[in-house]
């Protein structure tokens, strides 16, 4: 069986033949069709990956010292992204998974071509795979750590889904107005966001609503919201759910 590094190198070679990112997206979709699918009975909240803009389920079993994953998603691009990760990590040992880096994702340009919400979801997928590896390795070097910042970020995202754009009946998170979320274990939260238009007359009100919603999240000690307009917001930053809600799909 190939090592993780060899599989990553194969993926870099496969993506190098594409010069357009639409072709790369098509390839991701094809990968998703061949992914080992999670059993329908395992599509439960326990197997949902938190932090993804679309629903993604991931299960894991250990056999002969190696981890075998199965997954599914209700969004075709997200399904392709998780299938790409499983192509690398499925059948590997917990120790090798924990030791691996994800530099190949930057080499193929995946991170820079994802919306901020999808990029956050990618990070959550990788972290979940590594959490499985940490919990299933034979001799953990130390007790599993409490991932307080990750849990807090999930709660912050849930709060942001309750803040709506004043002109569009979709919440600011699904609209793709949230560019960055940093949630620290000590309760410090930093958010970088934008608006659909720089000259929005109630910009201060929207920012205040975001700050108040996040400040009410248990465990949050302080919130800083930075309003930016670079890069410029476009409809491409909207999630599939938002586009569906607005009749754009």
Q: How confident is the model at residue 50 (pLDDT cuts 50, 70, 90)?
A: confident
52 is catalytic: yes
Encoded tokens for 140:
């953990």
Looking at the predicted structure, is the pLDDT value of residue 73 above 80? Answer: yes
User: Are 179 and 132 within one domain?
Assistant: no
Q: For the chain, what percent of residues have pLDDT higher than 90?
A: 55
Residue 52 has pLDDT above 90, yes or no: no
216: DSSP letter: T
Closest CA to 118 of 165, 73, 64: 73
- With cut-offs at 50, 70 and 90, classify the pLDDT of residue 143: very low
Pairing state of beta strands 188-193 and 222-227? parallel
What range defines the domain where residue 200 resides?
A: 148-245
**Coil/strand/helix, residue 11:** helix
Q: Evaluate if residue 174 carries a pLDDT over 80.
A: yes
* Predicted pLDDT of residue 176: 92
Angle 54-57-63 from CA coordinates, rounded to 5°: 155
- Claim to verify: residue 9 and residue 129 sit in the same structural domain: yes
Q: Does residue 141 sit within a domain?
A: no
pLDDT at position 65 over 90? yes
Say yes or no to pLDDT of 142 above 70.
Answer: no
User: What are phi and psi for residue 29, nearest 5 degrees?
Assistant: -60, -40
Token pair belonging to 80:
């392709």
Give dist(CA 225, CA 180) in Å, integer: 10
Residue 185 and residue 100 share a domain: no
Where a domain ends, among 87, 113, 136?
136
Beta strands in the chain (DSSP E): 56-63, 66-73, 178-183, 188-193, 222-227
DSSP states along 118-130: HHHHHHHHHHHHH
Tell me: pLDDT of 57 over 90.
yes
Domain end among 136, 165, 192:
136
Q: What is the mean pLDDT of residues 144-172?
A: 81
- Tell me, yes or no, whether 40 and 113 share the same domain: yes
The token pair at 39 is 């059993």
Same domain as 169, residue 88? no
Quick one: which of 52, 3, 33, 28 has its CA closest to 108?
A: 28
Q: What is the mean pLDDT of residues 146-161?
A: 82
CA–CA gap between residue 152 and residue 196 (Å, rounded): 26
- Is residue 51 over pLDDT 80? no
Which distant-in-sequence residues (6+ apart) come within 8 Å of 148 by Cβ? 185, 219
Is 19 within a domain?
A: yes
**Local confidence band at 8 (pLDDT 50, 70, 90 cut-offs):** very high
Q: Compute the radius of gyration of the chain from its Cα atoms.
A: 19
Mean pLDDT of the chain: 88
Please report whether residue 47 resides in a domain.
Answer: yes
Give residue 191's pLDDT: 96
In a domain, 80, yes or no: yes
- Catalytic residue selected from 4, 11, 28, 52: 52
Asked if residue 173 and residue 50 are part of one domain, the reply reads no
110 and 203, same domain (yes or no): no
Residue 139: pLDDT band (50, 70, 90) is low
Residue 143 forms part of a structural domain: no
pLDDT tens for 84-107 read: 999 999 999 999 999 999 999 989
Residue 189 confidence (pLDDT) above 70: yes
Around Cβ 44, how many Cβ atoms within 10 Å? 10
Separation CA 1–CA 35 (nearest Å): 18
Residue 60 belongs to domain with CATH number: 3.90.1010.10
What pTM does this model have? 0.56
pLDDT higher than 60, residue 136: yes
Mean pLDDT of 177-186: 91
**Position 167 confidence tier, pLDDT thresholds 50, 70, 90:** confident
List 198's β-bridge partners, or say none.
Answer: none
CB 22 within 8 A of CB 29: no
CA separation for the pair 244, 144 (Å, rounded): 39
As to burial, measured by CB atoms within 10 angstroms (0-12 exposed, 13-18 middle, 19+ buried), residue 211 is: middle
End position of a domain, from candidates 79, 103, 136? 136
């Amino acid at each position: 069986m190939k090592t993780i590094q060899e599989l990553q190198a194969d993926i870099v070679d496969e993506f190098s033949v594409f010069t357009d990112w639409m072709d790369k997206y098509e390839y991701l979709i094809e990968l998703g069709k061949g992914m080992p699918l999670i059993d329908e009975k395992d599509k439960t909240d326990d197997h949902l990956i938190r932090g993804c803009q679309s629903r993604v389920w991931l299960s894991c079993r250990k056999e002969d010292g190696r981890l075998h994953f199965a997954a599914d998603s209700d969004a075709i691009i997200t399904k392709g992204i998780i299938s790409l990760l499983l192509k690398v990590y499925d059948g590997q040992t917990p120790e090798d998974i924990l030791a691996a880096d994800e530099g190949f994702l930057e080499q193929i340009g995946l991170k820079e071509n994802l919306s901020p919400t999808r990029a956050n979801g990618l990070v959550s997928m990788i972290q979940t795979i590594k959490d499985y590896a940490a919990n299933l390795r034979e001799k953990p070097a130390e007790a599993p750590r409490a991932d307080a910042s990750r849990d807090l970020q999930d709660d912050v995202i849930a709060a942001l889904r309750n803040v709506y754009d004043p002109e569009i009946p979709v919440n600011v998170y699904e609209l793709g107005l949230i560019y960055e979320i940093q949630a620290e274990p000590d309760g410090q939260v930093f958010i970088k966001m934008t608006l659909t238009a720089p000259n929005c007359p109630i910009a201060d009100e929207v920012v205040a609503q975001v700050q108040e919603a996040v400040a009410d999240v248990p465990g949050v000690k302080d919130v800083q919201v930075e309003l930016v307009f670079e890069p410029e917001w476009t409809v491409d930053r909207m999630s599939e759910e938002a586009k569906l809600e607005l009749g754009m799909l």
